[in-house]
Structure 1
Amino acid sequence: MSPENRRRSIIAAVLPLVIDHGTAVTTNQIARAAGIGEGTIFRAFKDKEELFDACVHEALKPDSALDAIAEIPIDQPLDARLNEAAEALGAHLERMGAVLGAMHAGGKPRHRDPEHRGKGLRGGRRESMTAMRGAITELFEPEKEHLRVPAEQLASLFLALLFTRTRFDPEDGGATTGQVVDIFLNGALEAK
């Protein structure tokens, strides 16, 4: 296995442990989860801090959500496409929050190295948002002749609404994903 593939494999195995144990995860737990010897960890990463930084970096990347959105069949109704996209983005936000929360609870500062602040595979925060907006914009393409505003603007509005919704628990009066999509597409008023 190449060094980069080994690093990716270790990070994938460690992410769930970080969510469960935060920075208290042991190298023994990491090695068992990754199916490697403890020494292999330190051939791939100089120390646990570098491994934790790599885990945070991985959690911030929207790649899995973008891949899931790209696989949404475009021939589905728009509400179904947006629901699937919202679920994919919601899963990304949950994972990101779980990893960052576990790291913060363990006393790890948000970014140890300022050079890597906000850097993901698809770039920093702005680039990630641009990529997400582009992916959502594509979901509106089949309806572009019937849209009241440009698809890119709708994508921005949808993301803003969706990201705000994650702060409200449906059990506490917040909206479900389906409700967000319905209100977004159909408005708040009943048809007259």
Structure 2
Amino acid sequence: MPLLVEHGAAVSTAQIAKAAGIGEATIFRAFADKDELLDACVVAALRNDHVLAELDAVPLDQPLAARLTEAAATLHAYLGRMGAVIGAVHAAGRRGERGTPRDRAATGDRATATEHTRQAVIRLLEPDRAALRLPVEELAAVFLGMLFGRRGAPGGEAPIETLVDVFLHGVVDGRESAR
């Protein structure tokens, strides 16, 4: 995947084999052709199981801001990797995924992946449930909406720390009431 991001779909199977430390013919024992290899890269980029494991590893004894900052950084990195791989494949003029039903099953459906991500964020919010103004289930959806919505926003992306600060403290300065 890093070679695909760096070189786009023009990356050669020779480059991939060299980076993997294998012979080029070995690639074609696993993949019928380069298109199938590119499809496998897209499937791998869409998988979120490693992201869920990273979110589950965030220590719950940290302050809430630290937990959410770590979660936001993890999710932001995932979105970046996913976007780079899919963008490289699409830039080469490939629009559809030819993946097999087995490949599609490996990525899971979008709704399931989204729900697992939401549940991971709920776990991060749970230790502070009593101090929060809204239910953790609702706050998880708001947090993810803020994070996912920041990609491609006019004027660029707000830093993750700013997103977490606004999420936790709002937009009104406590020294002055909003008009």
Q: 1:18, CA displacement in angstroms?
A: 0.7
Equivalent of residue 123 in structure 2, options 113, 132, 138: 138
The one-letter amino acid of 1:167's match is G
Normalised to the residue count of structure 2, the TM-score between the two structures is: 0.90
Aligned residues between the structures = 175
Residues 120 and 21 of structure 1: is their aligned pair in 2 closer, same or farther, counting only changes over 3 Å? Answer: farther
| Aligned partners of 1:72 and 1:81 also within 8 Å | yes
Q: Does 1:39 find its partner at 2:53? A: no
Q: 1:182, CA displacement in angstroms?
A: 0.5
Residue aligning to 2:165 = 182
Q: 1:173, CA displacement in angstroms?
A: 5.6
Residues 106 and 41 of structure 1: is their aligned pair in 2 closer, same or farther, counting only changes over 3 Å? Answer: same
Equivalent of residue 57 in structure 1, options 19, 43, 59: 43
Residue aligning to 1:109 = 95
Normalised to the residue count of structure 1, the TM-score between the two structures is: 0.85
Q: Distance in 2 between matches of 1:22 and 1:81?
A: 34
Which one scores higher on RCO, CA 8 angstroms, separation ≥ 6? 2
Structure 1: gaps spanning 5 or more residues: 1-14
Q: Distance in 1 between matches of 2:30 and 2:73?
A: 33
The one-letter amino acid of 1:77's match is P
Q: 1:20, CA displacement in angstroms?
A: 1.3
Map 1:70-109 → 2, pairs under 5 A: 70-109=56-95
| Aligned partners of 1:58 and 1:120 also within 8 Å | no
Identity across aligned pairs (percent)? 48
| Aligned partners of 1:83 and 1:177 also within 8 Å | yes
| Aligned partners of 2:36 and 2:98 also within 8 Å | no
Q: Distance in 2 between matches of 1:122 and 1:42?
A: 22
Q: Distance in 1 between matches of 2:140 and 2:146?
A: 10
